[in-house]
Amino acid sequence: MALVIKNLQCKTDSKEILNTLSLTIEKGTVHVLMGPNGSGKSTLSHALMGNPAYDVQGHIILDGKNISALEPHERAKSGLFLGFQHPEEIPGMKVAHFLRTIKNATGAAMDIPSFQKLLKEKMDFLQIPAEFAHRSLNHGFSGGEKKKCEILQMAILEPTYCILDEIDSGTDVDALKTIAKGINALLSPTRGFLIITHYTRILQYLNHIDYVHILVDGTIVQTGKQELAAIIDKEGYETYNISGGYDGIHSQH
């Protein structure tokens, strides 16, 4: 079973961003997507989650079910999760209340004592202070705290497929370690990951990486193993030309 992306095309304001992109994320695998600014990485994450701001063509198939026409909340119920690059601030909405609401909305309802036990367990594991649960969602949070909150959501929901859009951006080393700890805890033969990043620093904290993909101009131009990320970190993306080819870096798939 897998999350299958077939010939995905994505436009906004008549501008093409993704160009017949195809990718299969099998359960039990961790995929890393890298690419220069403007290559379409974040657009892909929003297209997969059903953001109505984008005109999307192609197919998104989750464990054999075509979810291309589903609303975002329906995709979440189907087991898809997106950790945002820029999480929204919601003053007045307490973190604990938000987490219980989304947990109940995407699965079997939990009574308050059961949820509080689950929340404490996940927060203790991620070493997130107890008072965090009583703060307004992302309001006044640092960059690292916002990303920790995204990881806490993922830990509470335990989705089947996790898409993390630059979850490491705007974080210090301590927050980065917490993020990696949350990802490592959910690595499972029954779960797939797509980790979108600009940098290799988070990769050194992950227990397992199967594939690294390079996205340029809306197209995956190369797939390799983790060593490919190290080459990109050293040489950058300048070896890739605008037509989607590359020069000097060879496929490691």
Q: What 3-state class would DSSP assign to 246?
A: strand
> What ranges in the chain are assigned the alpha helix state H?
41-49, 72-77, 95-106, 112-125, 143-157, 173-186, 226-235
Q: Per-residue pLDDT tens for 222-244? A: 999 999 998 988 888 877 654 44
Q: pLDDT value at position 12?
A: 87
**Residue 111: CB partners within 8 Å, gap ≥ 6?**
none
Least confident span in 7-11, 47-51, 154-158, 170-174: 170-174
CATH numbers and ranges of domains, the chain:
2-85+160-235 (3.40.50.300)
Cα–Cα distance for residue pair 162/179, rounded to 1 Å: 13
- pLDDT tens digits for 161-212? 999 999 998 899 999 999 999 999 999 999 999 999 988 889 999 999 999 9
Contact 195, 183 (CB under 8 A): yes
Q: Return mean pLDDT, the chain.
A: 91
Write the CB contacts of 101 (distance below 8 Å, at least 6 apart in sequence): none
Task: Kindly tell me if the per-residue pLDDT of 250 is higher than 90.
Answer: no
The residues pairing with 90 across neighbouring beta strands, listed in sequence order, are: 137
| Residue range 15-29, pLDDT digits in tens | 899 999 999 999 999
26: nearest Cα among 151, 196, 160, 207? 160
Phi and psi (nearest 5°) for 193? -130, 140
Number of Cβ within 10 Å of residue 8's Cβ equals 23
